[in-house]
Amino acid sequence: MRYRDLGKTGLKVSEVGLGCGPLGGDPKVDYRPLLDRSLELGVNFYDTADFYGSYRSEEWLGKAFEKKREQVILATKFGTIPGVGKDWSVGHMQKCLAESLRRLRTDYIDLYQLHSPNEAILPNHELLEALRKLKQEGTIRFYGISLDGGQFCIDAIREWQLDAVQILFNLFNLEPACSFRACREAGVGLIIKAPLDSGMLGGTLTSEKAIGEDDPRARWGEERTAQRSKLMKAMEFLSNGTGRTWSQAALQFVLSYGAVSTVIPGTTSIRHLEENVAAAGGRLTNDEMRRLHGLMGGEFAEMNLGW
């Protein structure tokens, strides 16, 4: 495993972390072997949210790492109420924080993040000041926002003086790269979510495979799915004959950007975990990056097929 700075927080995070959205999704599954193996492989950054896995994701992290707390960096989120919407009130944040601390079996959270707000959050200085107070008290070590869109990221860094930002970025969603310079110059940690495009860049969502439950192709629709498939066909040079799998190529593309602190692919498979972790330390070559730019032309930097 290789490690990078999480901005100017002083934290060293594994290049490949673990997105814990799927964790706890099946109440009959034992996720402890997955978490034990991830720590063995050097993964120290774990990103979750209060409601992930029907509120079981944090519980699994708490059970696995309660006695190894100093070895891991735990990031969680608040603000989303499934089936209801968003609540950015200070009271709701404090309630969510207390519940997350209980589930995680810890008395502090390394990175506490707003979960997918829109730009209207930026004038909410009451919430910002409450987070700053929690940081001063040590209940949270750092705070950030999980968001989408390059300009929103730039504005959030300027208005909120964030410690870290989490943003969607991958081979099909490149527009956010316009914010990477702002992250680097401000010393803001940059966490990349959905680096495998919800599984498409894992190479398994082929046209021959039927659309199953929770399949992202259902929300993309035929046009955006077809666009992805066409681009993957053109990008086969990233995996064919390189010794990389599709997942590793996609992760190493993201890790080729120096501003990135960590990528957080989500999985509940130990085999996929090991495959993802093996991408650490690798980068695309300059020639491969040039071929990508040539393939996608001037639209490369603006591509955004969405989540």
| Per-residue pLDDT tens digits for 129-182 | 999 999 999 999 999 999 999 999 999 999 999 999 999 999 999 889 999 999
Residue 231: pLDDT band by 50, 70, 90 thresholds? Answer: confident
Q: Would you list the DSSP string of 165-201?
A: EEEE-BTTB-GGGGGHHHHHHHT-EEEEE-TTGGGGG
30-43 per-residue burial string, b: 16 or more CB within 10 A, e: under 16: ebeebbeebbebeb
Tell me the C-alpha to C-alpha distance, in Å, between residue 112 and each of 20, 163, 195, 259: 15, 10, 21, 20
Q: What is the mean pLDDT of the chain?
A: 94
217 Cβ contact list (under 8 Å, min separation 6): 200, 205, 211, 225
Catalogue the active-site residues: 52
**pLDDT beyond 90 at 70:** yes
Residue 297: pLDDT band by 50, 70, 90 thresholds? Answer: low
Is 23 inside any structural domain? yes
**pLDDT beyond 90 at 215:** no
Which pLDDT does position 296 carry in this prediction?
Answer: 67
Question: What percent of the chain stands above pLDDT 90?
Answer: 81
Residue 302: pLDDT band by 50, 70, 90 thresholds? Answer: low
Is 307 inside any structural domain? no
Is 53 inside any structural domain? yes
1-43 residue pLDDT tens: 999 999 999 999 999 999 999 999 999 999 999 999 999 999 9
Which pLDDT does position 187 carry in this prediction?
Answer: 98
- Could you list the beta-strand ranges (E) of the chain: 3-5, 12-14, 18-19, 45-47, 73-78, 80-81, 85-86, 109-115, 140-147, 164-168, 189-193, 262-263
Which pLDDT does position 214 carry in this prediction?
Answer: 79
Is 261 inside any structural domain? yes
Helix (H) or strand (E) holding 149: none
Residue 136 sits in a domain whose CATH number is: 3.20.20.100
Q: Which of 92-96, 108-112, 196-200 has the lowest mean pLDDT?
A: 196-200
Helix axis angle, 90-104 to 57-65, nearest 10°: 50
Residue 128: pLDDT band by 50, 70, 90 thresholds? Answer: very high
φ, ψ of residue 12 to 5 degrees: the values are -105, 120
Per the structure, how many domains does the chain have? 1
178-190 residue pLDDT tens: 999 999 999 999 9
**pLDDT beyond 80 at 301:** no
What mean pLDDT comes out for the span 79-107? 97
**pLDDT beyond 70 at 293:** yes
Tell me the C-alpha to C-alpha distance, in Å, between residue 134 and each of 128, 147, 200: 10, 21, 38
Which pLDDT does position 210 carry in this prediction?
Answer: 81
19 Cβ contact list (under 8 Å, min separation 6): 47, 193, 264, 265, 266, 267
Q: Which of 106-120, 134-148, 212-226, 251-265 has the lowest mean pLDDT?
A: 212-226
Is 61 inside any structural domain? yes
Which pLDDT does position 298 carry in this prediction?
Answer: 52
237-277 residue pLDDT tens: 999 999 999 999 999 999 999 999 999 999 999 999 999 99
Domain extent for 150: 3-302
Which pLDDT does position 108 carry in this prediction?
Answer: 98
Is 170 inside any structural domain? yes
